[in-house]
């Protein structure tokens, strides 16, 4: 009998990263209004994101509303986004899956992004107590430790592991989420979301998910639970 260990990604797997971004834009709006009376920056940022811009979004929006801004002000804007208390909620099927599996099987979370920002998301979603191990990949040593770096997956195995464990990784992003699970003999599951920050059709070498589902409610069916 193998023992199921269920490991989730966070962003766009358990909640919508767009909702986090919009929440961050609103925090930036409050900050910019309080400091300089600037209005409309959240609206512009939302439009940029919705039209597919990601990399230069902050620079362009800030340049439009405060062309004379200093580097320190820009760093502050980025910090506001990363450290604000986000207004986000679990996807319905994520809430269902957590309730279904919590306490039944060991559960873990592996998430990329600056640690403070990812911690704020976990706090806002109030999910930490459901997980036996949460790995913030950034804590390994910054961006280099983001997925697919094996550090976080090894940490999960060390914490939750047993020789008969069957690890399952559930994520959204085939460009990074499934390479290492596939290499380590884990089961990889992609959940497809209608709207994601990262494209869902980009697949890394060796990163093809073994299962693709449209809702986490399909998990018991494919895992034989
Ligand atoms: Mg994700």
Ligand 1 centroid–CA 9 distance in Å is 6
Ligand 1 centroid–CA 150 distance in Å is 16
Q: Does 122 score more than 90 pLDDT?
A: yes
Give domain limits for the chain. Answer: 3-16+88-223, 18-83
Ligand 1 centroid–CA 174 distance in Å is 9
Q: Does 224 score more than 80 pLDDT?
A: yes
Contacts 24+ apart (CB under 8 A), 155-161: 156/5, 156/7, 156/108, 156/110, 157/184, 159/108, 159/132, 159/133, 160/5, 160/106, 160/108, 160/132, 160/133, 161/5
**Residues found in the chain:** 225
Ligand 1 centroid–CA 159 distance in Å is 22
Q: Average pLDDT, stretch 59-72?
A: 97
Superfamily of domain 3-16+88-223: HAD superfamily/HAD-like (3.40.50.1000)
Q: Does 1 score more than 80 pLDDT?
A: no
Mean pLDDT score of the chain, rounded to an integer? 96
170-198 per-residue burial string, b: 16 or more CB within 10 A, e: under 16:
bbbbbbbbbbbbbeeebbbbbbebeebbe
- Percent pLDDT > 70 in the chain is 99
202-222 per-residue burial string, b: 16 or more CB within 10 A, e: under 16:
eebeebebebebeebebbeee
Three-state DSSP at 189 gives strand
Ligand 1 centroid–CA 41 distance in Å is 26
How many CB atoms sit inside 10 A of residue 74's CB?
15
Ligand 1 centroid–CA 32 distance in Å is 29
């Amino acid at each position: 009998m193998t023992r199921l260990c269920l490991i989730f990604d966070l962003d766009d797997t358990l909640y919508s990263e767009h909702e986090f971004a919009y929440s961050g834009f609103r925090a930036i709006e409050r900050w910019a209004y309080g400091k300089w009376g600037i209005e409309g920056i959240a609206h512009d940022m939302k439009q940029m994101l919705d039209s597919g811009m990601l990399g230069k979004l902050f620079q362009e929006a800030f340049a439009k509303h405060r062309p004379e801004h200093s580097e320190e002000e820009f760093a502050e804007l980025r910090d506001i986004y990363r450290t604000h208390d986000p207004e986000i909620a679990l996807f319905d099927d994520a809430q269902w899956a957590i309730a279904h599996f919590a306490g039944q099987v060991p559960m873990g979370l592996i998430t990329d992004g600056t640690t403070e920002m990812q911690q704020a998301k976990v706090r806002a979603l109030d999910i930490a107590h459901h997980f036996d191990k949460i790995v913030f990949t950034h804590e390994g040593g910054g961006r280099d430790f983001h997925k697919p770096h094996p550090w976080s997956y090894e940490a999960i195995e060390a914490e939750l592991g047993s020789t008969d464990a069957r690890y399952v990784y559930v994520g959204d992003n085939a460009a990074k989420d499934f390479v290492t699970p596939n290499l380590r003999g884990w089961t990889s599951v992609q959940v497809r979301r209608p709207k994601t920050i990262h494209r869902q059709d980009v697949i890394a070498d060796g990163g093809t998910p073994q299962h693709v589902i449209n809702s986490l409610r399909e998990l018991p069916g494919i895992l034989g639970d």
